[in-house]
Structure 1
Amino acid sequence: MWKTTLLLCLLALPLTSCETSGADRVKTPVAEPLVQVKTRIVDTACDWTKPIYVSATDVLSDETAKAILAHNRAGAAQCGWKPTGR
């Protein structure tokens, strides 16, 4: 009995794996999906940076004063900071 079952399974295997050559079927081309990658840079520095104000009692070195001035000028140019008259 098991020989007959094995023989039927072995004969069924080649029959199930056959495929036609496709000459009778017309394959329609499948369009590839279009993927677009766009990089967007969002600068949020103006949301969280503020001008540096110096009091008359502050004692600054020349380098610190230059750094504060450069920071405030960059903020005025990039973020539209206006002098407050402090």
Structure 2
Amino acid sequence: MWKTTLLLCLLALPLTSCETSGVAQVKTPVAEPLVQVKTKFVDTGCDWTKPIYVSSTDVLSDETARAVLAHNRAGAAQCGWKPTGK
């Protein structure tokens, strides 16, 4: 008889532990963290490029002269290269 009583007590314990008071608990919503992604472009082209200087003894084809002039003009516009007056 005492085994049956002990068994009933042990079975009743887990059943009563899940009982609620009947009051619904309202969980407050947790605000999601705001994540902002910003892309920053860093132009390092002016750090490693320099103007091309041509000597009076250099012999250039027309195509090479146009390429050097385009390079120097682009550098002057983008990097602020100044003519040296050589």
Give the TM-score normalised by structure 1.
0.72
Structure 1: unaligned runs, 5 residues or longer? 1-10
Q: Supply the AA of the counterpart residue of 1:47.
A: D
State how far apart, in whole Å, the 1-side matches of 2:47 and 2:54 are: 21
Distance apart, 1:19 and its partner CA: 8.3
Q: What whole-Å deviation, never above 9, does each CA across 1:28-64 have from its counterpart, x for those lacking one?
A: 1010010000011111111111000011111111110
Distance apart, 1:23 and its partner CA: 5.2
In structure 2, what is the equivalent of residue 6 of structure 1?
none
In structure 2, what is the equivalent of residue 51 of structure 1?
51
Q: What whole-Å deviation, never above 9, does each CA across 1:2-45 have from its counterpart, x for those lacking one?
A: xxxxxxxxx7xx85xx686x952120101001000001111111
Structure 2: unaligned runs, 5 residues or longer? 1-10
Give the TM-score normalised by structure 2.
0.72
| Seq. identity, % | 86
Aligned pairs, number = 71
Alignment CA distance shift 1:54-1:19 (3 Å): farther
Alignment CA distance shift 1:23-1:43 (3 Å): farther
